[in-house]
Amino acid sequence: MKYLQSAGGAGSAEAVQAPAGTQLKKFQDYLGGSITVSYSRNADSQTKGLLAYTGKLFGLKGEESKALMRVSKRAIDGKGNAGIDPTEDLQITAGNTGVFNGNYVPANAIVSTRNTTGTVSTKDSQLTGRKYKTKGGASYTYPFGRKADTDIIKDRIEAIKTKVGVAVEGKSRSVSFLPEDIIW
């Protein structure tokens, strides 16, 4: 908004208002707090509850590394769409047999899918009012752990990237990662 200053150029001058009905005015109103933006989630996008899984943290060794890792039921239901097998690819198993009782955030893989065929829908941006086109897609977040004490996070990431990268007709998939964090 620094570009909407009066011609005098003084930093203390009151900001110029964008012309009514423009994308810039709508964005300016959003920044000023007069427009509230809210995004509702479709029913098929709800978490449907969290399930208990157990995996081994990368930062610890032996049995002490087993920790509770929660996964949404939606992510487990979407494992085929994401191309992920929780037991083989993520090294997590159903149930809570975790031993580690400290504070931690497990490493996470976020798999995003985008339809490459099918219907294109047009939506209006809530921030600017600008129209944009989109195709359906989804994202799923999965915690992951190590297989053995010698397993390193880089190897697990590479294995997950390879699995997610397998081509599926009509879909494109990508994956990003969040690191593990053990709070001492």
Rounded to the nearest 10°, the torsion over CA 152, 156, 161, 164 is -170
* 8 pLDDT more than 70: no
DSSP secondary structure of 87-152: HHHS-EEES------SEEE-EEEEEEEEESSS--EEEE-TTT--EEEE--EEEEEEEE-BSSTT--
Task: Please give the model's pTM, rounded to 2 decimal places.
Answer: 0.73
Confidence label for 46 from pLDDT (cuts 50, 70 and 90) = low
pLDDT at site 116: 80
Residue-level pLDDT at 23: 87
Provide the pLDDT for residue 3: 54
Q: Which two tokens stand for residue 147?
A: 């297989």
Model confidence at 9, in pLDDT bands (50, 70, 90)? low
Portion of the chain with pLDDT greater than 70, in percent: 88
Q: How does the average pLDDT of the chain come out, rounded?
A: 86
The model's pLDDT over 64-94, given as tens digits with 9 standing for 90+, comes to: 999 999 999 999 998 988 999 999 999 999 9
